[in-house]
Structure 1
Amino acid sequence: MSIKSFILAAALLPAAAFADINIQRWHTPQGTQVLLVERHENPIVDVEISFKGAGSVFNPDSSTQTAEFTAALLTDGTKSLDEEAFNRRSNDIAADIASSSGQETATVSLRSLSQSTNLTAALALLNESLTAPRFDAAVFARRKQQAVTALKQRETTPDFTAERMFTRLIYPHHPYGNSANITVAGLEKVSLDDIRAFHRSRYAKNNAVIAIVGDVTRIQAEKLAAAALDGLPDTTQTDSRIAPVDKPQARTSEMPFAGEQAHIVLGMPLIQRNDPDYYALVAGNYILGGGGFDSRLMKKLRDEKGYTYGVYSILEPASQAGPLRIEYSTQKKNARASLANARSVIETFIAQGPTEEELKQAKANIVGGFPLRFDSNAKLVKYLSLIGVYNLPDDYLQRYPEAVSKLTVQQIKDAWRRRVNLSDFSTVVVGAE
């Protein structure tokens, strides 16, 4: 077994090991938030560094992917190591280093053996990728071409077309709609100067959240955090706050599309990470359409009517109101009838709430499956990042199943009646007859 294979296998821990997770949390003098869970069972360390204000929401032009390109290029070489040499170096020291960009944050992750020689070398390479990225012209040109090709391919699919239009409808003037405005021309006009400027202004110590899980102590973690960010500016040059989402306004788009299938999306902006109705909305969504074959929408549209192979409702909580999205495909001839049935199911659920039996089943699935969400170091470090980025409480992982277990039918009914109104839903039908 290779060293990297050992790291991956050793990172998996039984769910029982996470029954009582002790999160140590502090801020450095420069404002970096650090969260640590010590796990000394195996000689590995997982690190995830998130930079608030460096995600796609903060692209200087909504038609571009400056944030995404910046994050991706961080681990495509440094000033002293080209792309190939960077990859060779990470393999030599048995380290996995990766970078990506989400909606609100950009992230760089590291997995390394905790042995001092390995971890020191891995941190040095991680630090170099953050403070001295190569931003190689040839690599950037390749990534840009890949992005253009991928966008052109996705634009030929009805689901992408529908999801993008839905995002435009519910976030017409909000940066949460940026991802739906990307164009080939926008991708092609991004320059390395744009990327360098984005990196200089949005990667700093005061907007960084460092999550650490593994075989290190608090003292070692403090040194690790300092070493990882050494050389970055103390403060960002930009604001990472996100404006509130406007009150939902129902909009409709029906678009022709080749093929026999129509793709339908409907929903509204709804849920925040720190939402007071968070658990009631989540449990209700499971019953409505998030619970797979157990959900009301699936039973109606698939089992009873035979309109679709699958229909799902999805909640995407964010700093501001993230979407509630219901989505499915059906034959074009069934588009209007299926949409009427879907709306009827949603309207009934809002008015009446769940049954006791539905809530019991939802609790069993949500609570029973919750430990599997962080049953490895790699999964747990992502939850630590989530807790840090959105300022969730230290006992979030314990509080979540407890809160769901205590929910009542009336609480879910009350939350959905107050917060969800079918008259506020925007609807997209791609492939409408």
Structure 2
Amino acid sequence: MTPRQLLLACCLLLCAQLAHAGPKIERWQTTAGTRVLFVEDHSLPIIDLQLDFAAGTAREPVGREGVAGLTRALIDLGANGMDETEIASRLADLGARLSGGVDLDRTSLTLRTLSMADKRAPAFELLRAIIAGPTFPVAAFEREKARSLAALREALTRPDVIASKAFWAAMYPQHPYGRQATPESLTALLRDDVLAFHAAHYGARSATLAIVGDLSRAEAEALAERLSSGLPAAAVVAGLPQPQLPAGGEERIAHPAAQSHLLIGMPALKRGDPDFFPLAVGNYSLGGGGFVSRLVKEVRDKRGLAYSVHSYFLPLQQLGPFQIGLQTRKGQAAEALQLTRAVLTEFLERGPSETELLAAKQNLVGSFPLRLDSNRKILENVAMIAFYDLPLDYLDRYPENVERVTAAEIQAAFARRLQAAHLVTVVVAGD
């Protein structure tokens, strides 16, 4: 072992010793069938909770793409006799914040409140009123639909959005992950579509609840029971189908932008897959490690073909994508694409060096405590564990799972998950 490798190994050992264990997570199920994960933490007078539903964009009916986002946008704009102004005023008076969003797999409602009884009790009741009896007001529906339509039309003029939409459609040509909202699908939406989507996907048995903060297990159980009992007793949402791997190919889309947008990838990884850790560690060396990654060194530093270049895996309920992305001047798009492919091919053939492997582990293990240094970050991780039904010790074992990865395991995992025959490429504003 060289002196540099020895130093990296020593630093890695020190980081592993300093890395904090994950929070203590407790799990149960409410009477209504909602799965609950709870972390008791009295260090701050704050409670954070996240309610997730299997109501992501992949659940949208064909021809009704956009209904998931519209449903989430409307759910807290009217409930049980309250309009959006009254709901917002009550939250403000309590110092509480209600947020959330929609991705491919899930829709989230996230509440942060102070833990004092006179603050948390009305905040919880307000959330229960919102999830138990959303009214989806007609005026709000028309306004939010028009806003979504205007935002989408504006987005579709940007080369990065055009590239992303074409990329997902190419990776998932016959799968819900590849379907996306269009001006036509949004225009066709009716308020009845929102009501139907809500009734089908916002049920207690398809929901997960993550709670983190300043309350006891008994208080958390009472809260979970109260919230879940207000949810509709909808049927359990069926699982998503497994996507078929796409035929590899290249799509070029003309655009007047001065910068070319290049994307390369394919469906590769689902949540809970044993290959996750070899792929995560390996990808740090390939393109996820910023200035120390091969792609940045070769494409940016040595040849100046891009200001930034990245790669990542996005595990989902079914096979989520591996993606390489970069932007470059039009005149050098062909050269940048050729070099990026060459770097990926070499990595697939040889894997990371021992120095790269040690550096990746050092960073991933050493930075791990920063992923859990606030209630909000803990909540995000616990909610992910709840929704994807991962082991309760997932966070506890994260550092050791990183540490045990070998170069051979990385090479084997990349070979299993990435094949040239299935890699799709999208170039917007190329030569």
SS in 1 for 2:272: coil
Does the 8 Å CA contact 1:34/1:210 hold for their aligned counterparts? yes
SS in 1 for 2:78: coil
Residue in 2 that maps onto 1:46 = 48
Provide closer, same or farther for how the CA distance between residues 158 and 394 of structure 1 changes in structure 2, counting only shifts above 3 A.
same
Residue in 1 that maps onto 2:174 = 173
Residue in 2 that maps onto 1:5 = none
TM-score w.r.t. the length of structure 1 is 0.92
What is the alpha-carbon distance in structure 2 between the residues aligned to residue 380 and residue 156 of structure 1? 37
Question: What's the % identity of the aligned pairs?
Answer: 38
What is the alpha-carbon distance in structure 2 between the residues aligned to residue 229 and residue 18 of structure 1? 33
Residue in 2 that maps onto 1:120 = 121
Residue in 2 that maps onto 1:73 = 74
**Residue type at the aligned position of 1:123:** F
Q: 1:276 aligns with which of 274, 277, 282?
A: 274
Q: 1:362 aligns with which of 338, 360, 363?
A: 360
Structure 1 residues 179-224: Cα deviation after superposition (integer angstroms, max 9, x where no partner): 3xx2112112211111111111211111111100001111101110
**Runs of 5+ consecutive residues of structure 1 not aligned to the other structure:** 1-15
Structure 1 residues 381-408: Cα deviation after superposition (integer angstroms, max 9, x where no partner): 1111100111111111111111111111
Residue in 2 that maps onto 1:293 = 291
Moved more, 59-68 or 106-115: 59-68
1:233 aligns with 2:235: no
Residue in 1 that maps onto 2:33 = 31
Provide closer, same or farther for how the CA distance between residues 359 and 62 of structure 1 changes in structure 2, counting only shifts above 3 A.
farther
Residue in 1 that maps onto 2:221 = 222
1:329 aligns with 2:327: yes
Provide closer, same or farther for how the CA distance between residues 62 and 372 of structure 1 changes in structure 2, counting only shifts above 3 A.
farther
What is the alpha-carbon distance in structure 2 between the residues aligned to residue 322 and residue 143 of structure 1? 29
Q: 1:416 aligns with which of 406, 414, 417?
A: 414
Does the 8 Å CA contact 1:74/1:99 hold for their aligned counterparts? no
What is the alpha-carbon distance in structure 1 between the residues aligned to residue 430 and residue 379 of structure 2? 44
Does the 8 Å CA contact 1:281/1:415 hold for their aligned counterparts? yes
What is the alpha-carbon distance in structure 2 between the residues aligned to residue 32 and residue 72 of structure 1? 23
Cα offset for 1:229?
A: 2.3
**Residue type at the aligned position of 2:204:** K
What is the alpha-carbon distance in structure 2 between the residues aligned to residue 293 and residue 120 of structure 1? 48
Cα offset for 1:366?
A: 1.1
Does the 8 Å CA contact 2:385/2:392 hold for their aligned counterparts? yes
Provide closer, same or farther for how the CA distance between residues 17 and 225 of structure 1 changes in structure 2, counting only shifts above 3 A.
farther
What is the alpha-carbon distance in structure 1 between the residues aligned to residue 225 and residue 236 of structure 2? 22
Cα offset for 1:134?
A: 2.5
**Structure 1 segment 12-411 matched on structure 2, within 5 A:** 19-52=21-54, 54-62=55-63, 64-179=65-180, 182-234=181-233, 236-237=234-235, 239-411=237-409
TM-score w.r.t. the length of structure 2 is 0.93
What is the alpha-carbon distance in structure 1 between the residues aligned to residue 40 and residue 63 of structure 2? 40
SS in 2 for 1:429: strand
What is the alpha-carbon distance in structure 1 between the residues aligned to residue 124 and residue 395 of structure 2? 28
Provide closer, same or farther for how the CA distance between residues 81 and 18 of structure 1 changes in structure 2, counting only shifts above 3 A.
farther
**Residue type at the aligned position of 1:117:** D
What is the alpha-carbon distance in structure 2 between the residues aligned to residue 289 and residue 191 of structure 1? 43
What is the alpha-carbon distance in structure 2 between the residues aligned to residue 40 and residue 46 of structure 1? 12
What is the alpha-carbon distance in structure 2 between the residues aligned to residue 226 and residue 92 of structure 1? 25
What is the alpha-carbon distance in structure 1 between the residues aligned to residue 130 and residue 40 of structure 2? 25
What is the alpha-carbon distance in structure 2 between the residues aligned to residue 174 and residue 306 of structure 1? 37
SS in 2 for 1:367: helix
What is the alpha-carbon distance in structure 1 between the residues aligned to residue 95 and residue 146 of structure 2? 30
What is the alpha-carbon distance in structure 2 between the residues aligned to residue 192 and residue 220 of structure 1? 37
